[in-house]
Amino acid sequence: MKRIVTAALFTAFAGGAAQAADDVTLQLKWVTQAQFAGYYVAAAKGFYEAEGLNVTILPGGPDVAPTQVIAGGGADVVVDWMPSALAAREKGLPLVNIAQPFKSSGMMLTCLKESGVATPADFADKTLGVWFGGNEYPFLNWMSTLGLKTDGSAGGVTVLKQGFNVDPLLQKQAACVSTMTYNEYWQVIDAGIAPEDLVTFKYEEQGVATLEDGLYVLEANLADPAFEDKMVRFVRASMQGWKYAEANPDEAAQIVIDNDATGAQTIEHQKRMMAEIAKLTAGSNGALDEADYQRTVDKLLAGGSDPVISAAPTGAWTHQITDKALQ
């Protein structure tokens, strides 16, 4: 039986009466999959319930922007990539990173070897696919640091607005497409293209990686002691979920399947995805590493004439929650 909403109903009895759990709504960046296993595991294993929380997990999708959801009051906390969050903050939405479960980036470009792309220098005059909706920022920033224009002019690259699939590569409409180490790359492999017929460029290895899948809230809410307390408990339970998922990847994959209301996911793909996701969360206890943050900001500011952000942000992250959650 499929489960869409994961929730804890009540905390332990106190003073002879059941205390209603505190509600928290989490908006995911994408659909139900192992990319978000830690949150589903925290719900399924009772970690949220033990913290007195009733957590509703909202799946994302191609028409769901976490920044818009939280701006409209539809979520207390969202999962988003830092480039998107910082760009939104500069435009007036005061998002603050309160925790960073993902230590490493899973983003890469996957290219057909037959296209003649062997190094980033070969991107010139090629068509490259990238997702938009906030996911384009790391890509556009990388192209800028390479000195490649993205307007299709000679010597630059033609940007193909990629759907959330790898069809442009399979149909040879693009030399390279954006993929995640834990998802779309394997769609290419499953389509019958051998690894030796591909060339991959991981953002981490190219020195252009930025932080992904952090937890963000609205700045004003952090001044509310009750909200702060809920987030402390939420982050603590969520990180329990993530570390459990790392240690028990197959069980975590099954929990994800149990929460997939669409029935689109398969256990085989989710097990493979969870194994890759565990590599990205490894090394993080949930607290944002300031050096990782600064690296992301520096990369985004180094965007030439069209940077993702125009000035170094202030107040874009805090240890206010993790200092208490991770004691």
What's the pLDDT at 13? 39
What's the pLDDT at 15? 41
What's the pLDDT at 3? 43
What's the pLDDT at 304? 63
Reduced DSSP (H G I as helix, E B as strand, rest coil) percent helix, strand, coil of the chain, to 5: 40, 20, 40
Residue closest to 215 by CA, chosen among 322, 101, 293: 101
Residue closest to 317 by CA, chosen among 204, 222, 195: 222
In DSSP terms, 286 is beta-bridged to: 100
Could you identify the residue written with the tokens 């490649």?
A: 148
Q: Where in the chain is the domain with CATH 3.40.190.10?
A: 10-104+211-325, 107-206
What's the pLDDT at 14? 41
Residue 13, Cα to own-chain centre: how many angstroms? 36
Start-to-end Cα distance in the chain: 37
What's the pLDDT at 128? 97
Tokens for 270, please give them.
């989710």
What angle (nearest 5°) sits at the alpha carbon of residue 57, between those of residues 3 and 72? 140
The CATH classification of domain 10-104+211-325, taken from the options 2.60.40.3880, 1.10.3720.10, 3.40.190.10, 3.40.50.1100:
3.40.190.10
Give the pLDDT means over successive 10-residue stretches in the chain (327 positions).
Answer: 43 50 97 98 98 98 94 98 95 98 97 97 96 86 90 93 93 97 96 97 94 98 98 98 98 98 94 98 97 94 77 97 96
What's the pLDDT at 141? 87
CB atoms closer than 10 angstroms to residue 189: 15
Could you identify the residue written with the tokens 């928290």?
A: 24
Write the CA distances from 18 to 51, 227, 229, 257, integer angstroms: 14, 21, 19, 31
What three-state secondary structure class fits 163? coil
- CA atoms within 13 A of residue 189's CA, in its CB half-sphere: 14
Q: Which CATH superfamily is domain 107-206 in?
A: Periplasmic binding protein-like II (3.40.190.10)
